[in-house]
């Protein structure tokens, strides 16, 4: 959706919320772990990121409420996966700019 303004007025609040959501290093660590594995149960995400189970669950819930990840229950375990198709492109843009010193 190319536009001649940086952020259209009707999307300002939603864009700010998305940047806040992705502006937390813990959530970025969780997303990196999910990206690397495709799908993981909560305890494995916690182990991979060095976070407590409770903290991991809290952050995964926030990501799920925003539609970035989705969870599915299998018995006692909840498995999460990334569902936002724009996440990879957004991370590439930001990380490339940081790597280039912009």
Per residue in 44-98, pLDDT tens? 999 999 999 999 999 999 999 999 999 999 999 999 999 999 998 988 888 888 8
pLDDT of residue 1 exceeding 70? no
Per residue in 13-46, pLDDT tens? 999 999 999 999 999 999 999 999 999 999 999 9
Give the separation between CA 46 and CA 94, rounded to whole angstroms.
25
**CB 21 within 8 Å of CB 63:** yes
* CATH architecture, domain defined by 10-100: Orthogonal Bundle (1.10)
């Amino acid at each position: 959706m190319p536009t001649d303004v940086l952020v259209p007025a009707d999307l300002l609040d939603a864009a700010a919320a998305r940047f806040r959501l992705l502006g937390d290093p813990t959530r970025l660590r969780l997303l990196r772990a999910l990206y690397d594995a495709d799908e993981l149960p909560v305890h494995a995400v916690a182990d991979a990121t060095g976070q407590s189970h409770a903290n991991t669950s809290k952050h995964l819930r926030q990501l799920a409420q925003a539609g970035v990840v989705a969870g599915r229950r299998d018995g006692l375990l909840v498995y999460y996966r990334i569902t936002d198709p724009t996440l990879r492109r957004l991370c590439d843009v930001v990380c490339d700019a940081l790597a280039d010193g912009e």
